[in-house]
Amino acid sequence: MTGVRRHTHGCLAPHITDKAMKLWEKSVQVDKDIEKYTIGRDREMDLYLAPFDVLGSMAHITMLQSIGLLTSEELSVLLGEMKLIYKDAVEGRFVIEEGIEDVHSQVELLLTRRLGDIGKKIHSGRSRNDQVLVDLKLYMRHELQEVTKSVKALFDMLIAQSEKYKDVLMPGYTHLQVAMPSSFGLWFGAYAESLVDDLMVLQSAYKVTNRNPLGSAAGYGSSFPLRRQMTTDLLGFDSMAYNVVYAQMGRGKTERIVSQALAGVAATVAKLAFDACMFSSQNFGFIKLHDAFTTGSSIMPHKKNPDVFELTRAKCNKIQAVPQEIMMICNNLPSGYFRDLQIIKEVFLPTFDELKDILRMVTLMMEHITVNDHILDDSRYDLMFSVEEVNRLATEGMPFRDAYKKVGLDIEAGKFTPVKEVHHTHEGSVGNLCNDRITALMDEVLQGFNFNKVDDAVARLVE
């Protein structure tokens, strides 16, 4: 489902007054101002969910036929139309018409227009509560896969740059003070390994997400003899959310867990962006950004500002705030469904596209960075080789504390002469980056997602 396009305006057909009622509406129509306030941006947000609403409904009606609530002929006709709606949704042609409350209502309306009363049968055994839950789960599952691909692309670029510049030394810092020799191999590789840990957390969030809430209805199950394991298998979930009350309690909690995982990726990228801004400044001059990723000043002709990395840092920090927003919306709610949870959509759903855009841009920027391979020609970095001298003397037999004191006194007396070479061999150091092991760990984490199972299940439903 890569490349799902979403539109936020337009309609497929003229407004039909007698069909534009809410699924729950009876004889009294809702005041328009109240309707606008309660619906808010829900119709816009539901466009993110459209393909997944159709997938969930396809699995649900297949199960309904198996328990006698639909005939084989009705199922066949419904599935045929749903595949067409699904194709429209994936290709960006699906819209929610004016006067239609949400994606669920729009899908049911389209089916009823085309098939008559058969279209009204798809909601048996469901509530909009478990319907939106499964939509969200399927959407999150798909988007987590897309984010994972984007993280892997950035990881690959960082590992490639680490290998390319593994022999170029640069200063390492503690307290923003020049500390010890580092290298661009270490710098690029550090962020690559950080992304591995981030994907471990993302995988945990994926496992929480990949559980089926269908059949929980409004949170207390259904009197129909639903086959919940069947819909679980049809949709490629790892398991169902067994307890129907907990299935509903997962709304908000799952989004918070997923957003925390996304925030972890954003935190890594934000730190990288800060480094890039700092290291590209004139006072450092460690790297040069490609001109395409900088902007000039309106009055200072020499300026090349790292705007793209600065905006990246801000966007990443914005994403790191999302878990807090979700927590504040839902942390004081008891069990059961509440309308408060609707607001989470507009906070949460756009986050995936924002993070994917960030990862794509940062991957491109890191590919075109130019590294300064003469940093250490500057004498201001001479003292960072003092530890190397202490260790050399200790290796030759001098007690470490005595070696430390001797080098310290030499520095004070202005007699220290650096040897600008390092001979580190231990794992993960300048001379032994362990990039092959980091890559192997990344591959192991990626295999743990088991995306193929999900892809195969979706393909079977729609093909």
Beta bridge partners of 182: 170
How far is 345 from 49, CA to CA, in rounded Å? 10
Amino acid at 446: L
CA angle, 380 then 386 then 389, to 5°: 140
**Do 120 and 149 belong together in one domain?**
no
**Do 193 and 260 belong together in one domain?**
yes
Mark which of 373, 398, 428 sits at the end of a domain: 373
Name the nearest CA neighbour of 4 among 131, 143, 108, 104: 143
**Do 302 and 221 belong together in one domain?**
yes
How far is 258 from 140, CA to CA, in rounded Å? 8
Name the nearest CA neighbour of 442 among 137, 153, 176: 153
**Do 98 and 225 belong together in one domain?**
no
pLDDT at 26: 54
pLDDT at 17: 38
**Do 103 and 152 belong together in one domain?**
no
- For the record, the structure tokens of 338 come out as 């509440």
Show the domain range for 82: 17-124
**Do 108 and 150 belong together in one domain?**
no
Q: How far is CA 248 from CA 23, 33, 51, 335, in A?
A: 20, 29, 22, 8
Furthest-apart CA atoms within the chain: distance in Å: 94
Asked if residue 211 is part of any domain, the answer here is yes
Angle at which helix 103-115 crosses helix 42-66, to 10 degrees, equals 50
pLDDT at 412: 94
How far is 93 from 86, CA to CA, in rounded Å? 10
Count of CB atoms situated within 10 Å of the CB of 49: 24
CATH number, domain of 64, equals 1.10.275.10
pLDDT at 41: 72
pLDDT at 293: 77
**Tens of pLDDT along the chain (463 residues)?**
644 544 433 333 333 334 445 554 555 566 677 766 666 676 788 899 999 999 999 999 999 999 999 999 999 999 999 999 999 999 999 999 988 888 999 999 999 999 999 999 999 999 999 999 999 999 999 999 999 999 999 999 999 999 999 999 999 999 999 999 999 999 999 999 999 999 999 999 999 999 999 999 999 999 999 999 999 999 999 999 999 999 999 999 999 999 999 999 999 999 999 999 999 998 999 999 888 877 766 677 666 788 899 999 999 999 999 999 999 999 888 998 888 899 999 999 999 999 999 999 999 999 999 999 999 999 999 999 999 999 999 999 999 999 999 999 999 999 999 988 888 889 999 999 999 999 999 999 999 999 999 999 999 999 8
Mark which of 373, 406, 435 sits at the end of a domain: 373
Asked if residue 88 is part of any domain, the answer here is yes
pLDDT at 206: 98
pLDDT at 44: 81
pLDDT at 1: 60
**Do 119 and 197 belong together in one domain?**
no
Asked if residue 55 is part of any domain, the answer here is yes
How far is 56 from 60, CA to CA, in rounded Å? 6
Asked if residue 430 is part of any domain, the answer here is no
Residue owning tokens 């088991």: 450
Burial of 187 (0-12, 13-18, 19+ CB in 10 A): buried
With residue 170 as reference, give the H or E element that holds it.
strand 169-174
Asked if residue 204 is part of any domain, the answer here is yes
- Chain-centre distance of CA 434, in angstroms? 27
**Do 211 and 350 belong together in one domain?**
yes
pLDDT at 6: 46
- DSSP state at residue 288: E
**Do 198 and 336 belong together in one domain?**
yes
Burial of 309 (0-12, 13-18, 19+ CB in 10 A): buried
Query: Which residues have C-beta within 8 Å of that of residue 124, sequence separation ≥ 6?
Result: 64, 69, 224
Count of CB atoms situated within 10 Å of the CB of 231: 26
**Do 81 and 216 belong together in one domain?**
no
**Do 112 and 195 belong together in one domain?**
no
Residue owning tokens 């639909």: 70
Mark which of 339, 357, 373 sits at the end of a domain: 373
Amino acid at 210: N
pLDDT at 10: 34
Asked if residue 312 is part of any domain, the answer here is yes
How many domains does the chain divide into?
2
pLDDT at 9: 35
pLDDT at 185: 96
CATH number, domain of 294, equals 1.20.200.10
Asked if residue 96 is part of any domain, the answer here is yes
Asked if residue 251 is part of any domain, the answer here is yes
How far is 314 from 295, CA to CA, in rounded Å? 17
Name the nearest CA neighbour of 21 among 86, 99, 104: 99
The dihedrals phi and psi of 273, each to the nearest 5 degrees, come to -65, -40
Burial of 387 (0-12, 13-18, 19+ CB in 10 A): middle
**Do 152 and 46 belong together in one domain?**
no
